[in-house]
Amino acid sequence: MNIHKAHKIWIEQCDAAQTIKARFGLTATFEYLVGEKLMSFAGAASRHPDFARELPRFVSEVRNMFTPDEIGAQLAQIGRSQYEGNVDVLGEDHDLLREGPAAVAEFVQQFMLVKELLTAPMLGTS
């Protein structure tokens, strides 16, 4: 993996999000871009330096695509959905729960990181 590939991945995902927003609206766009793509990218960033170097740029672009109020409301909805989903599917067929407590803990940690990055008053770069 190289930094150019990591950069290209998030650029393509942000471009796709623009199409989703035009066709399906804010919630679908946020679920796709943040709930799926940014969460996955943050997970990859914890294991791959190229993704870690690109994560601040990806987060910055996401912050530019949504207002702070939209981000707050959508993150709250994702948090509620994940909580309700985890509670409702105990004993049912759910990938995250099937993988065990470590997978759930990793998801929660990634969600909290993404939430912090998206809602921080200012992003620092160094």
pLDDT at position 84 over 80? no
DSSP code, position 113: H
- Segment 87-110, tens digit of pLDDT: 433 334 446 556 778 877 888 888
- Burial grade of 55 (CB within 10 A; 0-12, 13-18, 19 or more): buried
pLDDT at position 24 over 90? yes
For the chain, the structural domain boundaries read 3-119
Distance from first CA to last CA of the chain, Å, rounded? Answer: 22
How far is it, in rounded angstroms, from Cα 91 to Cα 88?
9
Alpha-carbon Rg for the chain in angstroms: 15
Q: Which two tokens stand for residue 97?
A: 């729960």
